Structure 1
Amino acid sequence: MKKLLIYIFLPLLILGSCTKLDQEFYSQVTPETFFKSEKDILAALNRPFTHARWYVGEDRWNLQEHTADNFAITTKGPHWYNGGENERYHYHTWTPDDGWIWGSWSGTLMGIALALDARSDLEKLDYTKFALTAEDQQAHLNQLNTLIAFFYMRGLDFFGGLPIFNSLEGENLPRNTDQETFAHIEQLLKTAIEKLPKKEDADERAVGELTQAAAAAMLAELYFNAEVYVGRPMFQECQQLSQDIIDGKYGPYELDAVWYGPHSFRNDRSREVIWSIPSEFNKLQYDWFYSSFYHYNSREYFGQDMGANNGAHLTPSRRPDSTLYQNEWKLGSPFEKFSNGDLRKSPYRYLGGGNYEGMFLIGAQRKPDGGVIRGGEEYKDRPLSFRDQVGRFSEVGPGKKYSSITQLPSKMSEGEENTGVRLVKVPIPTLADNTLRWGADNPVIRLTEIYYMLAECKWRRGDVTGAAELINTVRRRNFVNGADPNPVQPATFDKYRFIDEWSIEFLGEGRRRTDLLRWNMFTTENWWDHKATASEHLKRFPVPTRAISGNNNLQQNPGY
C-alpha cells in the first residue's frame, strides 16, 4: 500500500472524517488491469472532485467567514458555546488544537493525494483502447493538475508553504517554502491552461469540469493575492489575465442579467459560472450549511421538512437599542451594507416553479400560507422574529436581569434563538416542488469575481474611474430597471467602499478572510465584538498539533 496515502488518510479514518473513501489501494492492482471502460476512467477522474465538493464548504468556509467580520456563531443560552471554540475564532485566539484548523490542513492534503492518485493511474493508460483520444487524456490529466493547484492554493492561503509531493511514495515530508509552493501552483496552472479544453458555446451547461477559463481564473487569483502569499505584488499580471477572461480568450462567459442567475436552481445554465460543483437532491447535494444557518423552525418558513441547529448568522448592523453601528468601526454590519431597494435585501420567498425573491430571513417569520411561526426556547409559543441585533432581549423587563434595553450587552456570549439575520444564498423550494431541492450547483468561480479582481487591479494602479465602472456594471442588476441609488463614485471610492463591495456581492461565498488579508484589514481593523490584534502571525493559521505529532519534519508557523 502506498505509504504517503496511509500517512494522510489513516488519521482521517481514525478521527471520523466526513469524507468516505470507498476505494481500496492495493499495490498489485494496476491501472491496466483495473480499468475496463470509459466509465471506469470517469469514475477515477471524478473521485477527487467529490472530495472538492466537501472541501469548499464546512471547515474551510468556517475559517474564511467566522474569523472575519460578516458572520458569527453566538452562544444562544445553553447552545453553541462549544468549549469557547466559536469565540476563539471570532476573537482570533485560536490554537493549533482547534478542529476547523485540523480539518482544513488534513482536507487539503487529502485532496492533493486523491488527485495525484487518479493522475498516476490515468497517465499510465492507453486511451485509444477505450475509444478515447490523446487529447481526452490530456484534458483529464490537466483537470487533475488544476484541482491539485486549487488545493495547494487554498492551503497556501490558510497555512503558507505546504509539503510538495508529486507521487504517493514517501512519508513524513517537510514543508516547502511559501515561494516554492507558490511556484508549484503557478506552474501547474500555466501548463493546464495550454492543455485544457476551452468552452466553445456560451449556453453550454456546466457539469463540473475544469476548463481553460477555470485554470486562468485560479492563476489570476494566485497573482491577485501574491503580495499576501509571497510578499510580491502581482496586480499587473492579474489584471491582464482578468481582462483576457472577460474578453473571451478562454471561452465565452458573460454576466447574468439578474442577480440570482449564478445561484438559482438552474445555475448550471448560467453564462456567468466558470466552475461549479454539481448538486442534485439525494446525491452529492450542496446542503452542508443548512443545519448551521437556520433555526429549528425555519423548516416551516421554507415549507420543508428539514431540521436545523440554529447556529450561524450575520454579525449585527444594529445595537440593542436599534440604532445603527456607524462610528465605532467601518467593517461588518453586512445586512445594512446593502442599499435600500436592492432586490437581494428583501426576505427570501419561494414563488413556485423554481422562482424566488430575496436573500435573507429577517423580521417576523411566517409560513408560506401566512401562518405565524413560533419560537421554541426564549420565545417558546411566541412569534419568532429574527433581529439584526445581538442581545438577550428576553431578559429585559420588570423583575428580570435588565430593566431596559439600553443595559443590554451585545457580544458573542449574548445570543438568543432569534439572534441575527440568516442568509439564503442557495434557494430552497417548498415540499410541493421538492424535486428542485438542492438543485442549485455550488458556483466556486464566477465571472463576477473576475470583474471585481480587474476592478481592484485598476484601482490599485490608479484607474479609479475604470474600477468604478466595472463594479457599477455588476451592481445595476440588483435594482429594478438598473436604478442603483448608491453607485460607486470615483471621487469617494476608497478602500472601505471597495471592501464593502466585495462583502455585498460575495456575502457568504467563503472568501471574506482572504479579501480582508489582501487589504491588510484582517488583523488591523475592529468590527462588532472584535478588537484588532495587530498580530502578524494571525494572518496564517497554525499547523495542527495532530499533524506535527504524526510528522516531526513539519515546522510550526511563527507565533504559535
Structure 2
Amino acid sequence: MKKYISILTLSAGLIFQGCTKLDQEFYSSVTPETFYKSEKDIKAALFRPFTHAKWYLGEDRWRLQEYTADNFAITTKGRHWYNGGENERYHYHKWTADDGWIWGTWRGTLMGVALALDTKNDLSKLDYTKFALTAERQNADMAQLDALISYFYLRGLDYFGGMPIFESLDQESLPRNTEQELFLHIEKLLTAAMNNLPAKKAGDKEEGAIRKAAVAAMLAQLYFNAETYIGKPMYEESRKLSQALINKEYGDYQLDPTWNGVHGFKNNSSPEILWSMPSEFKMLEYNWFYADFYHYNTREYFSQDMGGNNGAHLTPSRKPDGTLYSSDFKLGSPYETFTTGDFRKNPYHYLGTENYEGMFIVGPHLSPDGKAILGGEEYNKQPLNFVDQVARFSEVGPGKKYSSVSQLPSKMSEGEENTGIRLVKVPIPNLANNTLRWGADMPVIRLAEIYYMLAECEFRIGDKSKAVTLINEVRKRNFKDNIDLNPVTIANIDKYRFLDEWSIEFIGEGRRRTDLIRWKAFTTEKWWDHSPSSSLHLNRFPVPNQAIAGNNKLEQNPGY
C-alpha cells in the first residue's frame, strides 16, 4: 500500500463522502518504507490521530453530552445566543438530523477511525529494527491505535448506536453495522490491545499515551453501559474490571489526595489519571470552552487578556423569587447539589504560584483588587452579579414589562448577561503567570470514575454498603480535614443520590447524558424548563442527513 498525500485529503474525502469513504488519493512513489526516516517520524505519525482525539473530546461532542442534559444550558440573552433556535432544540430534545452538532459528531467519529487506521496501515509495514526499535515496541504502537479506534467507536456507539465498521482504508460506502456488531468489535479490539500495552509504574507522568489501565477502563465502560447499548446488563463484568483497576492489577494508580490535583496546572503528575490529553500554553491548548463559558469582561476577573462570548452556564437551582427548585424536580440544580463546605463550591480565585481555590464564578463579579466589573448589555456600566437563576430581572420595575419578580418566567428565552453560575474546572492563571495558561491536561479517564463505576455496579448487584464506602472515599478529599459534611449512607443512597454524585464529581466533563440514559432518566425525568418526552428513540441521535446523502446504504435510526 502506498503513502497517502496528506491527512487533509482524508478529511476532505470524509466530508464529501458522508464520512463513509476512507480511501485517499496518493502518490505512487511514496511508501511507508521510504517516508519514515527515524523514530521521530514514527512518533509524529502516532501523534496525529491523538490530536484529533483531543479536538473530539470537546466542542460538538461535549455539547451533545451536556446541553441536552440537566446541568448546563445556553439561554438566549437579549439579542444574543438564540442561534436560530439551536440551543433550545437541544435543551427541549427537539433536535433533527440536520443539526450541526450531530453532523460534526458523526463526521468527527469516523474521521478519528480513519486517521488511526491510516497510521496503523503505515506503521504495520515498517521494519522497526531499522530504527533500533523492538518488535515489542511496534506491537505496543499498533495496540495504541487499536485502542484509539475503540475509543472513537465507543463514543459513536453511545451517540448513534450502530455505525459502519471500517477495518481498512480501501472500504467505502459501507452500511451501518448493528449495535451488537459494533459492541463486539470494540470488545475485540480492546481485549487484544490490552495484552500489548505497558502498565504504568508508580511515579510515571501522563504524556497522552494509552496504557494498559486505560484500555481496561474503556472495556469496563463498555460493559457498564451495555444494557443501554445492546439491551444486556453486564454490570458484573464491569465490576470485575473496575475492582482490578483499583487493586492496581493494570498499573499503579491511586486517588489524588487533594480536591483539585486531578485538574490543576501540573495534573500530568496526578496519580489518579489513567489517560489524559496534554495541554500547554501555545502548544495544543485545550481551551475551546473559554469563549462559550465566560462573560465578555470576565477577563478582568481572571486578570487575563482573553475575551468571551457569554453563552453557557449551569442550569438554575433557584426560581426568580430565590426559592429552590428542590420540590419541583429531582434532577438538575447542579450548584446547590454541592454541599456547603465543599471546597469546590467556593468562588474561583487564582492565588498565585500555581495555587487556586473554588470552581465557580458566582455572586458579585470583582477583579482581584476588589473593583466591580461592569456589564455591557442589560447591566451596561453597572456592577455584574452572577446569579443562580434565569429571568429578565432588568425588566422588573415601574414602567417596565413586569411590575414584580413574582411575574417573571424562567425559561430558555429569558436569560441576561449575568444569568447563571459559570464553571471554572480548568484553572486559569493571571497574566503575571501566563505561562501556566492551559497548562492543565484534559483528563479522559481517571480513577475516581472507576470508583464510581464500581460503586454503581455493587449497588445494582445488591451491596449498598460497599457502594457507600467507595463513593465516600472519593468525596472526603473535598472537605476540611477529610470530614465529609454530607456523606452517602445506606439510608440515602438511591437512583437520585447516584445521579447527584456523578454530577458533583464529574460536572462539566462531558458525560452527563450517558449517565442519565443509563439510569433511564434522559427521556423520563423533568428538570429546569424541560419536560420528559417519554420517547426512548431520543436516547440515540439521528444519523445526519449529510451522511445519508453521501451514502445511501446508511439507514436512519428509528423515530427520526
TM-score range, shorter chain: over 0.9
The residue type equivalent to 1:130 in the other structure is: F
User: How much has 1:29 moved relative to structure 2?
Assistant: 1.7
Q: Secondary structure at the match of 2:276?
A: strand
Map of 1:81 onto structure 2: 82
CA 1:404 to 1:11, structure 2 compared with 1: closer, same or farther past 3 Å? Answer: farther
The 2-side partners of 1:171 and 1:11 are apart by 11
Is residue 401 of structure 1 aligned with residue 401 of structure 2?
Answer: yes
Q: Secondary structure at the match of 1:280?
A: coil
Q: Secondary structure at the match of 2:374?
A: coil
The residue type equivalent to 1:508 in the other structure is: G
User: How much has 1:2 moved relative to structure 2?
Assistant: 7.1
Map of 1:30 onto structure 2: 31
The 1-side partners of 2:4 and 2:134 are apart by 29
Map of 2:40 onto structure 1: 39
User: How much has 1:286 moved relative to structure 2?
Assistant: 0.7
User: What is the 5 A alignment of 1:273-292?
Assistant: 273-292=273-292
The 2-side partners of 1:429 and 1:449 are apart by 27
Is residue 157 of structure 1 aligned with residue 147 of structure 2?
Answer: no
Map of 2:182 onto structure 1: 181
How big is each residue's C-alpha offset from its partner over 1:23-73, in whole Å with a ceiling of 9 and x where there is no partner? Answer: 985354210000000000000011000000100000000000000000000
User: How much has 1:217 moved relative to structure 2?
Assistant: 0.2
Map of 1:518 onto structure 2: 518
Map of 1:324 onto structure 2: 324
User: How much has 1:12 moved relative to structure 2?
Assistant: 6.1
Map of 1:97 onto structure 2: 98
Map of 2:359 onto structure 1: 359
Map of 1:20 onto structure 2: none
How big is each residue's C-alpha offset from its partner over 1:290-329, in whole Å with a ceiling of 9 and x where there is no partner? Answer: 0000000010000000011000000000000011011111
User: How much has 1:170 moved relative to structure 2?
Assistant: 2.4
Is residue 418 of structure 1 aligned with residue 415 of structure 2?
Answer: no
The 2-side partners of 1:356 and 1:408 are apart by 37
The answer on whether the counterparts of 1:8 and 1:106 sit within 8 Å (CA) in structure 2 is no
User: How much has 1:181 moved relative to structure 2?
Assistant: 0.2
User: How much has 1:223 moved relative to structure 2?
Assistant: 0.2
Query: How many equivalent pairs are there?
Result: 553
The residue type equivalent to 1:533 in the other structure is: S
User: What is the 5 A alignment of 1:312-461?
Assistant: 312-461=312-461
Q: Secondary structure at the match of 2:350?
A: strand
CA 1:315 to 1:431, structure 2 compared with 1: closer, same or farther past 3 Å? Answer: same
Map of 1:543 onto structure 2: 543
Map of 2:12 onto structure 1: 10
The 2-side partners of 1:529 and 1:239 are apart by 36
Is residue 478 of structure 1 aligned with residue 485 of structure 2?
Answer: no
The residue type equivalent to 2:193 in the other structure is: A
Map of 1:293 onto structure 2: 293
The 2-side partners of 1:281 and 1:12 are apart by 31
Map of 1:132 onto structure 2: 133
The 2-side partners of 1:12 and 1:387 are apart by 44
Report the identity percentage: 68
How big is each residue's C-alpha offset from its partner over 1:422-468, in whole Å with a ceiling of 9 and x where there is no partner? Answer: 00000000000000000000000000000000000000000001000
Map of 1:120 onto structure 2: 121
The 1-side partners of 2:445 and 2:364 are apart by 34
Map of 2:463 onto structure 1: 463
Map of 1:254 onto structure 2: 254
The 2-side partners of 1:257 and 1:313 are apart by 29
Q: Secondary structure at the match of 1:195?
A: coil
How big is each residue's C-alpha offset from its partner over 1:185-232, in whole Å with a ceiling of 9 and x where there is no partner? Answer: 0000000111111112x2111100000000000000000000000000
User: What is the 5 A alignment of 1:171-250?
Assistant: 171-200=172-201, 202-250=202-250
The answer on whether the counterparts of 1:146 and 1:215 sit within 8 Å (CA) in structure 2 is yes
The residue type equivalent to 1:52 in the other structure is: A
The 1-side partners of 2:35 and 2:444 are apart by 32
CA 1:27 to 1:233, structure 2 compared with 1: closer, same or farther past 3 Å? Answer: farther
The residue type equivalent to 1:46 in the other structure is: F
CA 1:159 to 1:422, structure 2 compared with 1: closer, same or farther past 3 Å? Answer: same
The 1-side partners of 2:106 and 2:15 are apart by 15
The answer on whether the counterparts of 2:374 and 2:382 sit within 8 Å (CA) in structure 1 is yes
The answer on whether the counterparts of 1:2 and 1:169 sit within 8 Å (CA) in structure 2 is no
Map of 2:263 onto structure 1: 263
User: How much has 1:363 moved relative to structure 2?
Assistant: 0.3
The residue type equivalent to 2:86 in the other structure is: E
Runs of 4+ aligned structure 1 residues displaced above 2 Å come to 5-15, 23-28
The answer on whether the counterparts of 1:2 and 1:168 sit within 8 Å (CA) in structure 2 is no
Q: Secondary structure at the match of 1:522?
A: coil
**Could you say what the CA RMSD is over the residues aligned between the two structures, in angstroms?**
1.7
The answer on whether the counterparts of 2:66 and 2:72 sit within 8 Å (CA) in structure 1 is yes
Q: Secondary structure at the match of 1:491?
A: coil
How big is each residue's C-alpha offset from its partner over 1:67-118, in whole Å with a ceiling of 9 and x where there is no partner? Answer: 0000000000010000001000000000000000000000000000000000
The 2-side partners of 1:547 and 1:371 are apart by 51
User: How much has 1:492 moved relative to structure 2?
Assistant: 2.0
The 1-side partners of 2:28 and 2:248 are apart by 45
The residue type equivalent to 1:124 in the other structure is: K
Map of 1:310 onto structure 2: 310
CA 1:300 to 1:24, structure 2 compared with 1: closer, same or farther past 3 Å? Answer: farther
More off after superposition, 56-65 vs 368-377: 368-377
The residue type equivalent to 1:409 in the other structure is: P
The residue type equivalent to 1:471 in the other structure is: I
User: How much has 1:13 moved relative to structure 2?
Assistant: 6.0
User: How much has 1:171 moved relative to structure 2?
Assistant: 1.3
The 2-side partners of 1:148 and 1:11 are apart by 19
The answer on whether the counterparts of 2:16 and 2:550 sit within 8 Å (CA) in structure 1 is no
The 1-side partners of 2:27 and 2:115 are apart by 15
The 2-side partners of 1:554 and 1:47 are apart by 28
The answer on whether the counterparts of 2:238 and 2:454 sit within 8 Å (CA) in structure 1 is yes
How big is each residue's C-alpha offset from its partner over 1:114-171, in whole Å with a ceiling of 9 and x where there is no partner? Answer: 0000000001100000011101101111000000000000000000001001111021
User: How much has 1:6 moved relative to structure 2?
Assistant: 9.2
The 1-side partners of 2:260 and 2:251 are apart by 22
Map of 1:106 onto structure 2: 107
The residue type equivalent to 2:285 in the other structure is: Q
* Runs of 5+ consecutive residues of structure 2 not aligned to the other structure: none
User: How much has 1:559 moved relative to structure 2?
Assistant: 0.4
Is residue 489 of structure 1 aligned with residue 510 of structure 2?
Answer: no
| TM-score when normalising by structure 2 | 0.97
The answer on whether the counterparts of 2:15 and 2:107 sit within 8 Å (CA) in structure 1 is no
Q: Secondary structure at the match of 1:492?
A: coil
The 2-side partners of 1:13 and 1:174 are apart by 17
User: How much has 1:371 moved relative to structure 2?
Assistant: 1.1
The 1-side partners of 2:225 and 2:421 are apart by 30
More off after superposition, 27-36 vs 392-401: 27-36
The 2-side partners of 1:99 and 1:381 are apart by 36
The residue type equivalent to 1:101 in the other structure is: I
The answer on whether the counterparts of 2:4 and 2:25 sit within 8 Å (CA) in structure 1 is no
* Runs of 5+ consecutive residues of structure 1 not aligned to the other structure: 18-22
The answer on whether the counterparts of 1:343 and 1:357 sit within 8 Å (CA) in structure 2 is yes
The 2-side partners of 1:543 and 1:27 are apart by 36
